[in-house]
Structures are given as structure tokens and as C-alpha cells.
Structure 1
Amino acid sequence: MTEAFDAVDIIRTKRDREVLSTDQINWVIDAYTRGVVAEEQMSALAMAIFLNGMNQDEISTWTQAMINSGETMDFSSLSKPTTDKHSTGGVGDKITLPLAPLVASYGVAVPQLSGRGLGHTGGTLDKLEAIPGWRANLTNDEILRQLDTVGAVICAAGSGLAPADKKLYALRDITSTVEAIPLIASSIMSKKIAEGTDSLILDVKVGSGAFMKDLEQARELARTMVRIGKAAGTHTVALLTDMSVPLGRKIGNALEVEESVEVLAGGGPDDVVELTVALAREMLLATGIDTDPSENLENGKAMDSWKELIRAQHGDPDAELPTSKHTETVVAESDGVISELDALKVGVASWKLGAGRARKEDQVQAGAGITIHAHLGEAVKAGDPILTFHTDDEPRFEKAREALEGGIKISTVAPTRESVLLDRIG
């Protein structure tokens, strides 16, 4: 078969800061998926994109080409509108767990295809697998049936969705091109648009525990993704949210399920409730429902929806969750107010305790993680507990203490943090 283009010419075009044509982009993504474009050639192209960027048309075309590399899901047979949420990941970010059943409790279908954790950011599937019996892998038919009956599904994304992204994602990781906004945006949006949802709400995290540390960079990423979504005909809105400190008071798989259930029971930490309700409101508005979603947290409807969701995937929502064998408490060294609780350092400490994985093949400990007793802005006296470490392996405590070094500051002045919500782009 004679190929329409030469990979070297395409690399040279982007190296020389020129614009790639629609045909060039479609060919290079298809040829890379087929193995015609070699890994080293795609590495060179990814670096050229990292250094020289892409315009919005190029990014949208690149995203569509990745969608076209595999199968897409079709929810048009459902009698309900569909809406989905994607978070760029953070520490203690368990929002999918209370959010999906909350939105489903209003008669909306929520197909939440999720992933596993890597490094300091937790994975939704790892969290739910702490529930005895719960299973992550569903067929497309099972997903459709559950959306029709329960209204929400949280499960693993099939390998057939955007296979070009899967290949390119692994390559970006080993070629130091992960941070390229065109590649981040197209990676996220290709999978989400391939899911076939009518509307998509993005939670773009900003701060030390987030992928984007800088607010302006995060805004650029959010704008880029919103434009891609709209160009593909998907109603898309982005919220920028604070990830300079951990979200909520529990970090780790079973611990985050516990906290999610507290939220569904009408309680839970203020920041987790605020973000869950804000995202639910956007998701419902996108389907034409204008209401205050906190009502269904308070009246028990969201909890009923949660129990249905867990049972539908063979889990026992009333079963006891796993706990770790060992705990260790970190105490305040002086009187004052918690003026810093670095999300990245807390996240890495939780990972070192066994809540996360360094490689995809690693096993996670269901009960490992961190409980926060004194959060940002809260007063402590010397000797008061700030954090509790949880793990099955005592030697991990030392690694967690090292990871946390310098991450907690106590001062006499309370920091101000009015809201977890920073901006809205839509």
C-alpha cells in the first residue's frame, strides 16, 4: 500500500512552525495507530508540538482523528439525556462517587468511564474496588442497560475507545511531552467525545496537587477543551477548582469511599459538598434541569441512587470497608493555625503508604491513605493530631514522613480560602 504522506515531511512541517493540514493529521494518527509511523517519529512530532504548539483547528482535527482511530459509544437509544464529568485529577478528589448518583437521582443518565490511579493522583476505579464485590469491567450492553435502569454507571473505559490516544499517552510519558496543552486537551477530549455523551462538564484542577500549577495555564487548557467539545457538537463547560490543598479530609481508596458516603448522607466536608453540588448543577443545567442539587443529598434520593449503582455492579453498599493494619499520627509541633497543607506532598505521602501505584502493574492497598484532622485555617495546639497515616506495611511510615517533609506549616495568621471554585469557562 502506498502511503499518502511521509512522516518525515509532517515532522518537518511542525518543526518549522507551520500548520498541519487536516489530511496530514488524519493520516499521521491513522498511520501511527497502524504502526506505519514509528515510535521515534511520533516522539519527534510530539516534541515539535510541545515546542511550537498547534492552532485551534489543528487541535480539533487531531482530537477527531484520535476519536476515529477506534469505536465510539452511542447512547441515542436511551430515553434520558446523558451528561458526564471529567476531572484533571488531584489529591482527595473523590467527587465522581457522590456526583454520579446525585445527578442520576434527577432522571439523567451519567456514563462515567473512569481510570486507575498513577502516582499521587488517585483513580476512581481503585476507590470503588475497595467495596466488597464491586466490579469495574462492564460490556457495552451492560453499560446501556444500567444507564436505562439505574441512571448512572462508573466503570472502566473499553480498550476500543481512542486507541491512538492510548499509544500516544504512553509515548508522551517517556519523552517529556506530557505537559503540551494541545496533547493534554486532545487526549482528554478524544476519550470523552468517543463516549458519546450529550454534554460534558470539566473540572480543571489548579495548584500544587494538580497537573496545572498555574491559574493562567489551567485557563488555557480549559478554554482549549471547551472549544474542542463545542466543535464536536458536545455541550462543554469547565470549572477551574483549587487543588493547592487536599480535597476533603480523607485520602486513599476505602477512606475516600467513606467520605463520599458521608456526603451522600447529607454530611461530609464543606469543600467536597460545595464542588459536588456545583458540578451537579452544571451537569443538570446542560440537560435542561434548573434546580439546587443539594436537596437530593439532604432527602436521601442521592443515597438511594448510590446503593442501586453499587448493587448493579455486584458490590455490597452496606459491607464494612477494608481498614489498614497500622496507623501513625503526625502531631503539631507548636500552637497556631494550619497555614499550609501542601496537596502534592500529602498526595505523595498517601501514595508511599500504599494508596497509589508507581507503575500500572502495581497493586494498591484498599485501606491505605491519610486522614486529615486539622485542615487549612484550623487552629491547633502543640501535640494535637494533624494527620493519621494508614498502611499495612509499617516500613512505609518512614517513606511517608519523608514525602510530607515541609508540607505542613503552622503560623499565627489564618490563610483565606473562600471557595474551592476559582472560575467558570463555557
Structure 2
Amino acid sequence: MKSLRSATRLAIAVAALGYFVDVYDLILFNVVRWESLADLGLDKDAATKTGVWLLNLQLIGMLVGGVAWGVLGDLRGRLSVLFGSIILYSVANLLNAGVGATSGPLAFMSSFDAITSYGVLRFIAGVGLAGELGAGVTLVAELTSRQGRGVAVTIIGAVGVVGAVAAGFVGELAGWRLAYAIGGVMGLALLALRVGVVESGMFTALKGSSRGLARGLLPIIRSRQLSVRLLKVVVVGMPIWFTLAVLVGLAPKIAEAMGVSPTPKPGTLVALYYGGAIFGDLASGFLSQWLKSRRRAIGFFMAGTAVGCVLVLTLGAQGAYWYGAATVVMGFFSGYWIVVITTASELFGTNVRATVTTMTPNLIRVSAVPVTILFTALEATTGDVWAAAITGGSCFVLAAFALSRLPETFGRDLDYNER
């Protein structure tokens, strides 16, 4: 029993540190992209277009990885994803540090076109980054008790979000090459810790008695019920990525439309947002434990996120300071992200759990694409502020409806399969 508890604690620590590195690497590109592209000789216009192209490549990589790692986790085990994903994105980030380098240990990278190499490596990194959170949450959810599951996953989420803050500081202070190298080294160092992690007992039992039982993506494709259930979870998380993609990512544009001068810096807002999210992750997770309800905790924090958005679009007009203060509130309440991922892992059986839990965060991230498309389509006729308000309102209405159609998952026994 004692060894089992030790194994569970190790799994939580490894998953939490892995998510820290994952978020660090995920956010780092947004922090250093302007500096890195300028260093590679691109002017502002070229850097803008190339930056979007690189970001899209990383996003496509995460889409591919979200499916691939999820299926692998259900077919080969949760540990295979924890090892494979971190190796992939760690090596990609180490090589990213050498893009266009003419000296040093990575000078061989100068043999390749710098921008093309950058794009290939962002795609590969995206594939790797897609697997970390889903595999970690799935493994920990299956190793912990029904009562302790929410606390364990909350710890993973809170530690992971600190990685975003670290990326902001390291990216600003260390320079882009060293920042990428640090991310790669941190990831490879974690491999030593992962050697002692045990596989989920539920998956081991499934593997030994699953003859004729479909696993991975196939049952979800075949079953309309499972597909709709997955879609509902993704929609519940959409408001989070509206806040990041629009109110934080496009903050200078929106703030300028509100008459704010000088406009807030995106890098500063990212740090403020994730600073709030660290405490929001903890608060939402513990609230779900106290209420013994994932749905009620999500509903409360979703409502708080909506209030935060209203504050950004009203109080934020008073100046950059107030825009930033409202962003902290918005970031705090957006911390229900980790409860959404926990819910995804609890909503599905063991034979598809890794697939769903890995796909969910990546599909939520990709929801930023239709969200920004809607914002862009509206801004020409309504203006930036109303475009943001209408887009956000649409996200919250859809998310609230989806949440109302989800069953409660707190305390659910996870030892079952989808037929």
C-alpha cells in the first residue's frame, strides 16, 4: 500500500513538472517570436506574416499530435506518451535554439534554410506538446482514488501554469536561443524522473482482457453519443481561449479602439493573465472538491470569466493599468481549464480515455481559430470592442448550453470501458 502511494505521488510530480515544461515551451514561441525573427533578418512586415505561419504550423502539429498521442496512449499505454512526447518537443526546442546559428555546438543548423527549419521544428514541437497534459491527467486520474483525483489533477494544472510565467521571464531575460535551449534541457532532464513511474493498473487490466474491444479513436468515430459528448466538453472550454486569443492576444488593437494610450503590452498581459490563472487553477479544483461537483465549479468560474471579460471591455478603457487589472481577474476565473480536462478524463471509459483527454485540450486551443475568424468578420461593421463583445457572448452562451447537457462526473468510478 505504501509503495502504491509512493508511485502515485511520483506520477503526480512527474505529470506536474512535465506540464510545467509543456506550457513553458508552448508559450515561449509567443514571447520570443518577434526577437527571433528580427535576429534572423526579417523586417516587421515579413516577421508578422512569418510569425503567423509558424504559429499555424505549431497549431497543426498539435492537432496531429492530439490525435496521434491519444490513440497511442489507449493502444500502447499512458507511459509511452509521457516518454515519447517529451523527447520529441525537447529535441525540437534544442534544435530551435540553433536555427540560423553560425557558431557553437548547433552551428550545423546553418546548413539549412533558417525560416524553413524554424517552421519544421515548430510543427514537430507542436506534435510533441500535444501529448503531455492528456497523458499525465489520464495516468494520474487512474492511479488516484475517486476522492483525491480532483486534488491531484489540480496540482498538475497549477504547477503547469507557472511554466507560462517562467517562459515570459526567461524569454525576456535570457534571449531567444538560450530560452529555447533551457526548455529542451528541462524536458530531457525530466526523462530521468519518468523511469520510476508505473503504468495505470486500469490500462494494464484492459490490455490483458480487451480482445475484441476497440480502443482509441475508432469507438468515438463510430458512436454519435461519444462524439457529441466530446464536442460538449470542448465547447465548455471555448471561452478560455476566447480570452487568450482575443482579449489578450489582440489587446493593443482593442485597447486602441477604446482610446487607451499607451496600449498594454501583450507580453505583460500574458504574465498577468497566467499569474491569475495559477491561483484560479487551484481555486477551481479545490472548489470542485468542496462542492463535490465538477459542473457547479465550472459554472461558477465560467460566470466569473464572463465578468472578467466585461471588466476588460469597460474598466479597461480607463487605461493600460486597468486593462491589466481586469486581465488578472479574467485569468483567475479562466482557471477552470483544469477542471474541464479532469471532467473529460472522467466522462469516458478506459479504452478511449487517453484519446479523449489528449484531444480535448488541443481541440479547445484550436477553437481559437473560428473565434478569431468571427471577430475579424465582425470588426469591419461593429468595431473592435463590439466585435469582441459579440464573439465572447456567443462563446459563453454555447459553453453554458453545453455544460447544462453534461452529466456530473465527481466521484465516478473510472474502471469501465465504452462499448
TM over 0.5: no
Q: Which protein shows a greater Rg? A: 1
Please give the range of the TM-score, normalised by the shorter of the 2 chains: under 0.3
Q: Structure 1-normalised TM-score?
A: 0.27
Richer in helix (by share): 2
Higher relative contact order (CA 8 A, sep 6+): 2
Q: Structure 2-normalised TM-score?
A: 0.27
